[in-house]
Amino acid sequence: MSRRKQIELSSEDQDKFLAEPHTASLATVDKNGFPHVVAMAYLYKDGAIYMTSYGKAQKVLNVRRNPKVGVMVEAGRNYSELRGVMIRGNCEVIEDPEAVRMTMRGVAEKEGHAAAVPSGAASSAPKRVVLKVTPLKIASWDHSKLGGKY
């Protein structure tokens, strides 16, 4: 069995991992063709990644120009502990304040905060959008499966 297959997470383990409170790195492509990578809070629901952002943010402008994105969620400090999921997919910009509020509420709940969205964040909902990433290709890893052999 290849090392890649040894460390791959099952689809069920990927779902469990993505449902945990981690930070995602969202990679978009800027107008000059360079990667633009930002840390994002996210919600994993129904096989898609949901995030919110101000509609005028650079990442949103990049997605409007090119909807192909990458999302990486990773955990662990040492190489032998690294677990993660990398998603390549298409990103849709959803301009609906209610969808923004629902996504913000879902992120807060996932991160263990009260179901209520902080008032400052809630008041910004009309200026925000939801970024929905639909996976096209997924790679995953769990280096702990190697038992220290790397």
Number of domains, the chain: 1
The domain in which residue 80 lies consists of: 3-91+131-144
> Between residues 124 and 57, which one has the greater pLDDT?
57
Is residue 150 predicted with pLDDT exceeding 60?
no
Predicted TM-score (pTM) of this structure: 0.89
The pLDDT value given to residue 117: 60
Tell me what the mean pLDDT of segment 104-127 comes to: 74
Can you give 105-123 as a three-state secondary structure string? HHHHHHCCCCCCCCHHHHH
Is 109 part of a structural domain of the chain?
no
Q: Specify which residues 44 forms β-bridges with.
A: 49
Residue 13's domain is classified under what CATH number? 2.30.110.10
Is residue 115 predicted with pLDDT exceeding 80?
no
Q: What is the pLDDT of residues 12-58, one digit of tens each?
A: 999 999 999 999 999 999 999 999 999 999 999 999 999 999 999 99
